[in-house]
Amino acid sequence: MAMRMEYMTTKKDELVGWIRKFSLFPYPFVTACCGMEFMAVSSTLYDTDRFGAALPRFTPRQADLLMVVGTVSHKEAPILKRVYEQMCEPKWVMAFGACATSGGFYRNYAVVQGIDKIIPVDIYVPGCPPRPETVIDAIMMLQDKISRERHPIFPFEAQQPVKA
């Protein structure tokens, strides 16, 4: 008699996390030279499609991973904030490179000292610019974080925690 798998048992939280972590649609918010490294990461050599995170959506409404790639100035901060607010839940934010993480070596009147002053950040990628391996490591760490998220059904408010 042939073995047939007709059902499997798992936890709902794990199932939801597993589905979510392999369908990351990044929105690249590219402002500076880190964008060159972002192109390298998204090329075939490093193949982020292995993690389900290869297809950039160039509208924030279809994306769930906001990659802030490069320096963000004070003049640009309202744009970043609006892009973040346009994204649907669930959403995650990656600060790509030293400038997005902390302002980098720009300590002056123009540059925001880290995008976490404006929007919540889930994962920080160091480097100026980061190596592609660092970015892939960050994606994997973010996937771990996503798969560890809990999704209680009740109360409803706790299902969609407000992160801001």
Please return the burial class of 84, using the count of CB atoms within 10 Å of its CB with bins 0-12, 13-18 and 19+.
Answer: buried
Six-digit token string for 72? 């963000």
Q: What's the closest the beta carbon of residue 84 comes to other proteins, in angstroms?
A: 11
Tell me the site size for other proteins, rule CB under 8 A: 17
Kindly tell me which residue out of 3, 4, 108, 157 binds other proteins, with binding defined by CB under 8 A. Answer: 108
Please return the burial class of 129, using the count of CB atoms within 10 Å of its CB with bins 0-12, 13-18 and 19+.
Answer: buried
Which whole-number Å values give the CA distances from 137 to 46, 96, 106, in the listed order? 12, 12, 26
Q: Which is nearer to other proteins, 46 or 106 (CB)?
A: 106
**Contact string (CB under 8 A) for other proteins, positions 120-139, x = contact:** x-------------------
**Contact string (CB under 8 A) for other proteins, positions 66-105, x = contact:** --------xx-xx--x------------------------
